[in-house]
Structure 1
Amino acid sequence: MMPSITRRQLLQATWVGITGWALGTQYVVEPMAGPLVSPASRMFVHLSDFHWGYRGDYNRQPADTLERAWALIKGLTPPPAFVVVTGDLIQATDSATERLARLQAVKAMLDRLGLPYYTVPGEHDCYGDRGQSYRAVFGESHWIRTVAGFTLIGLDNVSQGPFIGSTQRQWLKAQLATRVPGRAVVLSHAPLYDVFLPWNWYTYDGAQVYQALTGIKEALFLYGHVHQAMTATRFERPNWAGLPLSWPYPEPGLMESLAGWPQGATHPDMGLGFNVVRWSDSGPMRVLRMGLAASREANR
C-alpha cells in the first residue's frame, strides 16, 4: 500500500517536491532547482479548494495567495499542458447573486492563466442551489474529455450529496464502453474512498467508480476537500489529494476539530500549494507537491 504523507510532514518540508510513482510504492524527495521535467516529458497542474469569497483568519490574503500560485504556474518549465481543479472554487454563501459573482470571478482568474482548464464542483460551489450556478458558469458538473492523450473524467460527488448516484454511474459506464483509454485521470471533489466519515470525507458509492475503470491500464485519481497532503491506493489505483489554496485542515482524528488553522503572520502559506503531474510517453505519471511557503522563502 502506498504510504501516507501527512500535513505535519508537509509543513516540515522545504522547497522540494514530494514525489510518488503513480503505479508504484516509492516516494522520492527531489530538489526543485531547474526545469521540473526532461525535454521529453510534459506536465499538468492540479489545483484545489480556493474558497474564493472567504473572509477571516484562516486566510487573510486570499487574493495574494492565488496571485503567487498563478505566478509559480506560469513559471513552470515546460509550460503545463492543462490545469485541473477539484472543487470548492468559492466559499459557500446564502446569496444567489453573490454565489454567481464569486464563481464568475474564479472563472476570470482561471482564464488569466492562459491554459486549458477543467473543473469539478465542491460542496461550497453547490450550496443553496445544488450546483445550478456552478453549471451556469463552468458547464456540466460531470463530463469526459480527451486531452493531451489523456482521458479526463470529471465526477460530481457533492451536488446531490456524498455520492455519485446511479444516473451518473450509468453515464460513466456508457462513456467508457465507447472509449479504450490507455491513460485516465479521474477528478472528484471528495475522495472516492473512505477517509474519515465523521467529517464527510468519503463517497458512498465510490468503489463502483474504481470497478468501472478496471480495464484501463493506468488511472490516477485526484481529489480535494481534505485540505492537506494525502495519498492512498485503492483497487490498486493511486489517489492524491490536492493541496489547498485557502487553508490547511488538521489530520483526521476523533479528538480533532474540523477547523482551519489561523494564518500566521510569519508563515502565511504553510500547508498551501498545488500538485504537478508529469508524464512521458515511455513512463508512468508522477506527482509532485509544490508548497507556496517554501517558494516565498526561496524568493526572499
Structure 2
Amino acid sequence: MTEPTAIDLPVQGGTLRVLRFGSGSRTAVAAHGISASGMAFRAVARQLPAEWSLYALDLRGRGGSSGTPGPYGIDWHAADLCRAAEELGDGGPVALTGHSMGAYIALRAAARRPELFDRLLLVDGGLPLPAPEGVDPDAILDLTLGPAIARLSRTYESDQAYVDFFRAHPALGPDWSPDIEAYVRYDLTGPQGARRSKAREDAVRQDGRDLLGSADAFAADLGRLAVPTLLLHSPLGLLGQEPAMLPAPLVEHWVGEVPGLHAEFVEGSNHYTILMGSHAKTVAERLVGVSFP
C-alpha cells in the first residue's frame, strides 16, 4: 500500500485535511477517535479491495486539521463528515464508518443525512454512555482517557521519545506494528527538542464534554437510523483490559431496541487494536459488505 494522498477539503471556517487511501471508485469515509487522526485507519485501508478508496478525515483540531478553528462538538464534526461524503463520493451513497468518538460522529451524520450513505459501521462506539450526575466532565475525561489526555500538554525531546511513550501504552505496546508507528509519527509537530501532539487539548476537552452530555441525543440518533448499521465491539477497553468501552448488556439493549442495528463481538481485541491491530481485516471486510447485514 502506498502512503495516503493528502486532500484539503473546504468546510465552514477553513479547510480539513483528508487522507485518501487507495484509488478505487467505491468510496468510504471515516471519522477517528477523540485525540487521534485519519492515520488511525491505515491498517484498515491496507485490507480494502483495490476497487475501494477510503477517505479518512483529520477532524477539526487534530492532525493536519489542527489549525482549523472550532466550534468543535459532534454536530460540527458530523456536518464536516457529510460534506466529505458529498464532495468525495463516487456519485452515489458511500460507506460510512467511525471509531470511538468517530462512531458517534458517524451515527449523527447517518441519522441526519441518510441519503448520503448506504451503510454505517460503528467501531467500538456510538451507543449512549450516560455520565454520572454531579461529576466534573473534565475529571471523567482525565480518568477514562488517561494517557491520551496527558500527552496533549507535554513536549518530547525527539520523535523516538514520543514513539516510546506510545509503546509503553498497555493497549498498544503488546500489539505494536508499522501501522501503529506510522499513526504515532503522523501526530508529531513542533521543533526538535519540543515535539508534541498535533491534537489540540481544547478541542479534545470540548468534544469530550459534548460526548458525556449527549446520551439522550445519541439515543435519538439511534431511533432515527434508516441506514443498515453494524457495530463491532471489543471485550477490552482503553487500557487493554476490562471493562469494555461498550459493556455487553448495553450492546444487547440497543440491538433489541433499534431495527437494523446488528452487533458483532471481536474476540481478542481492545479499543485500539480492533482498528489498528490484527483485527483491522475484520473492520475492512465488514465495511465493504462481507457479512454486512
**TM-score normalised by L of structure 1:** 0.31
**Higher-RCO chain (CA-CA 8 Å, sequence separation at least 6):** 1
Query: Relative to total residues, which structure has the larger strand share, 1 or 2?
Result: 1
**TM-score normalised by L of structure 2:** 0.31
Query: Relative to total residues, which structure has the larger helix share, 1 or 2?
Result: 2
